Amino acid sequence: MRRLHFIASSKFVLALALCSASQAQVASIPQSELRTTAPTLARGLVTPSSAQLSPDLALSTYQRGLELQANQLAGYTTISRIDAELPDSAQKAEYELQQHYSAPASLEFSAVHSSGDAFVKSNVIVRLLQSEVDHVRHHEQSQTAINSANYRFSYKGASQLNGAPVHIYEVKPHAKRVGLFKGKIYVDAVAGHLLRAQGRIVRSPSFFIKKIDFVQDYATLDGFTLPIHTHSEAQTRIIGRAVVDITNRDYHTESAAIERSVETSALADGTD
């Protein structure tokens, strides 16, 4: 596979809205008018269960999990497919890549396959990937994490998401900072895991971008909550609307606890 080498460049369309993948449980999502293939939300189907967490306990469980994951996730590898489209000019492209994250500040992409319009590939997809790499390299994860340090949470009720009971919280950032959003998160009412985050970026990363709406769905794999699908739409001043879908599959995670255990065993054995 060909490794993509990135050079310093300005942040572009979906920039920080999508870079949460490498930290897990940091996210993004659109308003109701956006098209998305994400799981559907069904209201009024939640049945009482003693196994379900209270809204306060579910939120605190989620935030504790976020802190633990920041310390325990040593890295991961995933296959990412990125589909980007400029509807106003009927231009589109797709990239399939292998993504490797190594905590705390290394993110690499290796190209597997690409096709479509060259302008979209270079000016949307590659710049988006560069933005993700810069975000991780500059240790900006904590600045965009969905936690009480960055957001205020207001409980909005219970529902179901893709068959799972969820608690819904409105989130508003304490400050209008690039990479933060205003919207909602959906937390599993039984396990306290983040299942979805959605909203609008509160501050554009560039003068050329008017607004960014996005939806990001998560799954818990090997004990870590990781993004599996992101749908984003940005309205720009020059090229019009930009639509990006990112799907992640075949995750292989690396636990810091396991790595420390291996290192301890090696020292005990006197091996390198």
What is the distance between the alpha carbons of residues 165 and 173, in angstroms, rounded to a whole number? 25
Whether omega before 30 lies within 30 degrees of 0, making that bond cis, reads no
Q: Is the pLDDT of residue 44 over 80?
A: no
Tell whether the model's pLDDT for residue 23 goes beyond 80.
Answer: no
CA 92 to centroid of chain Cα atoms? 22
Q: Which range, of 10-19, 119-128, 189-198, 240-249, averages the lowest pLDDT?
A: 10-19
Q: In whole angstroms, what is the distance from residue 196 CA to residue 190 CA?
A: 15
Higher pLDDT residue, 228 or 49? 228
Cα-Cα-Cα-Cα dihedral sign, residues 214, 219, 225, 229: negative
Question: 188-220 burial string, b = 16+ CB within 10 Å, else e?
Answer: bbebbbbbbbbbbbbebbeeebeebbbbbbbeb
What backbone torsions phi and psi does residue 70 show, to the nearest 5 degrees?
-60, -30
Contact between 245 and 80 (Cβ < 8 Å): no
Summarised one tens digit per residue, pLDDT across range 156-200 is: 999 999 999 999 999 999 999 988 999 999 999 999 999 999 999
Q: Which two tokens stand for residue 140?
A: 């900006």
Q: Which two tokens stand for residue 43?
A: 């209201």
pLDDT at 173: 97
- Domain boundaries defined on the chain: 2-34+57-265
DSSP state letters, 72-98: HEEEEEEEEEEEEEEGGGTEEEEEEEE
Task: Map tokens 């949307």 to a residue.
Answer: 124
Q: Which candidate, 76, 83, 67, 78, places its Cα nearest to that of 26?
A: 67
**Using alpha carbons only, how large is the chain's radius of gyration in Å?**
19
Domain 2-34+57-265: which CATH number of 2.40.160, 2.50.20, 1.20.950, 3.30.1050 = 2.50.20
Per residue in 79-119, pLDDT (tens digit) is 999 999 999 999 999 999 999 999 988 999 999 999 999 99
Which one-letter DSSP state was computed for residue 8?
Answer: -
Give the residue carrying structure tokens 């449980």: 25
Contact 94, 245 (CB under 8 A): no
